[in-house]
Chain A
Amino acid sequence: MGQLFEGLRYVEFAWTGVGPMPGTYLASLGATVIRIESGKRPDPLRTMGPYKDGKRSVNRSLFYNMANTNKYGFSLDMKHPEASGVAEKLVSWADVLSESYTPGTMEKWGLHYDAVKKINPEIIYYSTSMMGQSGPYTRLPGFGAQLTGMSGFTNITGWPDRLPAVPYGAYTDFINIKLAIFVLLAAIDYKRRTGKGQRIDLSQYEGGILFLAPLMLDYFVNDREAGRNGNRDIDYAPHGVYPCLGEDNWCAIAVGSDEQWKEMCQVMGDPNWASENRFRTFDGRKANEDELDQGIAGWTCKLAAADVMNRLQAAGIAAGVVNKPSDTFSDPQLTERGAYRSVPHTEIGEHLAFNIAAGIRFSSIAPKVERSSPCIGEHTDFVCRNFLGMTAGEVDGLRQRGVFT
Chain B
Amino acid sequence: MKNRTQTDEGLLRGYRALDLTDETGLLCGRLLADLGVDVVKVERPGGDKSRCIGPFYKGRKDPEKSLYWFSFNANKRGITLDITKDEGREIFTSLAAGFDIVIESFPVGYMKSIGLDYDALYRINSGIIMAAITPFGQTGPYAGFLGTDLTVCALSGYMSLCGDPDRPPVRIGFPQAFLHAGAFAAGAIVTALIYRGVHGKGQFIDVSAQASLFESAMDAPACWTAEGKNTPRMGGNRIRPGTVYVAPAVFECRNGYIYFVLYGKTVGERANRALVEWMEEENAADEFLRTIDWKTFDPWDARVDQAYIDRLLSQIAGFFKKYTKRELFEEGLRRHIMLFALGTPADIAESLQLDKRGYWIDLHHPEIGKSIRYPGAFVALNQNPCTLRSPAPRPGEHNKVVYSEILGFSETHIVELAQRGVI
Contact = CB atoms under 8 A, between A and B. Distances in A.
A208 to B, nearest CB: 9
Given A206-B357, A226-B345, A321-B154, A168 B242 contact: no
Interface in A233-280: 233-236, 239-243, 250-254, 256
Interface in A217-234: 217-222, 224-231, 233-234
Nearest to B28: A182
Nearest to B212: A359
Contact of B145 (A146, A207, A250, A313): A313
Interface stretch (B86-94, B281-289, B348-356): B348-356
A365 B11 contact: no
B137 A155 contact: no
A316 interface: yes
A226 to B, nearest CB: 7
A185 B220 contact: no
Contact of B205 (A214, A221, A362): A362
B189 to A, nearest CB: 9
A181 B124 CA distance: 30
Contact of A149 (B70, B186, B259): B259
Nearest to B176: A211
Contacts of B162: 157, 165-168
A349 interface: no
Interface string B141-179: 111111111111111111111111001111111101001
Contact of B349 (A66, A205, A216, A239): A216
B112 to A, nearest CB: 15
Interface stretch (B305-313, B378-386, B397-405): B378-386
Contacts of A359: 180-181, 184, 207-209, 211-214
Interface stretch (B40-48, B49-57, B272-280, B407-415): B49-57
Contacts of B234: 166
Interface stretch (B77-85, B290-298, B368-376): B368-376
A22 B284 CA distance: 45
B184 A360 contact: yes
A363 B383 contact: no
Nearest to B377: A206
Contacts of B158: 168
Given A50-B226, A66-B222, A182-B187, A254 B151 contact: yes
A54 interface: yes
Contact of A190 (B136, B173, B192, B384): B384
B304 interface: no
Contacts of A149: 250, 257-259, 340-343
Interface string A300-312: 0000000000000
Contacts of A132: 353, 357, 380
A395 interface: no
A286 B224 CA distance: 38
A200 B379 contact: yes
B215 interface: yes
Per DSSP, are chain A's interface residues mostly helix, strand or loop, or mixed? mixed
Interface centre among A52, A251, A337 (most CB of B within 10 A): A337
A62 interface: yes
A201 B170 contact: no
Interface in B236-264: 236-238, 241-242, 249-250, 252, 256-259, 261
Interface in A111-153: 113, 131-138, 140-142, 145-146, 149-153
A364 interface: yes
Given A157-B173, A331-B155, A363-B204, A49 B242 contact: yes
A156 B176 CA distance: 12
A283 interface: no
Given A175-B183, A363-B204, A231 B157 contact: no
Nearest to A26: B191
A361 to B, nearest CB: 4
A320 interface: yes
A146 B225 CA distance: 27
B172 A322 contact: no
A337 B211 contact: yes
Contact of B180 (A135, A169, A178): A178
A152 B333 contact: no
Interface in A276-327: 313, 316-327
Contacts of B215: 174, 354, 356
Contact of A213 (B58, B152, B356, B374): B374
A196 B259 contact: no
A101 interface: no
Contacts of A179: 31, 183, 378-379
B220 A225 contact: no
Contacts of A209: 348, 354, 359, 375
B255 to A, nearest CB: 12
A212 interface: yes
B239 to A, nearest CB: 11
A236 B190 contact: no
A234 to B, nearest CB: 6
A149 B342 CA distance: 4
Contact of B154 (A152, A250, A364): A250
Contacts of B341: 149-150
Interface string A344-383: 0000000110101011111111000000000000000000
Contact of A225 (B68, B238, B345): B345
A189 interface: yes
B160 A214 contact: no
A155 B168 contact: no
Contacts of A155: 256-257, 342-344
B155 A321 contact: yes
A399 interface: no
Given A62-B226, A168-B220, A242 B59 contact: no
B298 to A, nearest CB: 13
A131 B150 contact: no
A329 B157 CA distance: 10
Contact of A360 (B207, B218, B242): B207
Contacts of A228: 173
Which of B162, B185, B187, B258 has the most chain A CB within a 10 Å cutoff?
Answer: B187
Contact of B214 (A253, A326, A328): A328
B248 to A, nearest CB: 8
11 contacts: A146-B259, A149-B343, A168-B161, A193-B197, A200-B379, A200-B380, A214-B72, A240-B150, A313-B145, A333-B142, A337-B140
The 9 A-B pairs with the shortest beta carbon distances in the complex, nearest first, are A156-B173, A359-B212, A320-B151, A336-B140, A219-B345, A168-B161, A50-B226, A169-B218, A62-B222
Given A169-B216, A186-B12, A322-B168, 16 more contacts: A62-B219, A131-B353, A152-B345, A155-B257, A158-B236, A162-B235, A166-B162, A168-B162, A168-B220, A185-B194, A190-B11, A197-B383, A206-B377, A224-B55, A241-B168, A360-B185
Interface of A: 4, 17, 25, 29, 48-52, 54, 62-63, 66, 113, 131-138, 140-142, 145-146, 149-159, 162-171, 173-175, 178-179, 181-183, 185-190, 192-193, 196-203, 205-207, 209-222, 224-231, 233-236, 239-243, 250-254, 256, 313, 316-329, 331-334, 336-337, 339-340, 351-352, 354, 356, 358-365
